[in-house]
Amino acid sequence: MRPRLGDYIRSIVRRREFISVLATSKAQAQNQNTYLGQVWAILTPLLNSIVYVLIFGVMLRTRAGMDNVIGFIVVGTFMYGFFSSTVTASAKSITSNLKLVQSLQFPRAILPISVAVKELVVLIPGLLVMMVISQVAIGVVQGSELIHPERWPLLIPMVAFLFLFSSGVGMILARYASHIPDITNTLPFVLRIGMYASGVIFSIDRWVDHPTLQVIMTYQPVAVYLNLARQAVLAETNIPINWSMWAMGAGWAVALFIIGFLVFWKDEARYGRD
Alpha carbons within 13 A on the beta-carbon side of 167: 24
Model pLDDT, residue 206? 79
CB 30 within 8 A of CB 122: yes
CA-nearest of 71, 100, 38 to 232 is 71
**Residue partners of 73: CB distance under 8 A and separation at least 6:** 49, 52, 53, 56, 57, 200, 201
CA-nearest of 50, 171, 164, 49 to 109 is 171
Model pLDDT, residue 61? 65
Model pLDDT, residue 208? 82
Task: Please tell me the distance from the alpha carbon of residue 246 to that of residue 231, in angstroms, as a whole number.
Answer: 10
Tens digit of pLDDT per residue, the chain (274 long)? 789 999 999 999 999 999 999 898 888 777 677 767 777 878 888 888 888 888 876 666 666 557 788 889 999 999 999 999 999 999 999 999 888 888 888 999 999 999 999 999 999 988 999 999 989 888 887 776 778 889 999 999 999 999 999 999 999 999 999 999 999 999 999 999 999 999 998 888 877 888 899 999 999 999 999 999 999 999 777 888 999 999 999 999 999 999 999 999 999 988 877 6
Task: Please tell me the distance from the alpha carbon of residue 123 to that of residue 225, in angstroms, as a whole number.
Answer: 15
Model pLDDT, residue 31? 66
Q: Taking the alpha carbons of 27, 28, 31, 37 in that order, is the dihedral positive or negative? A: positive
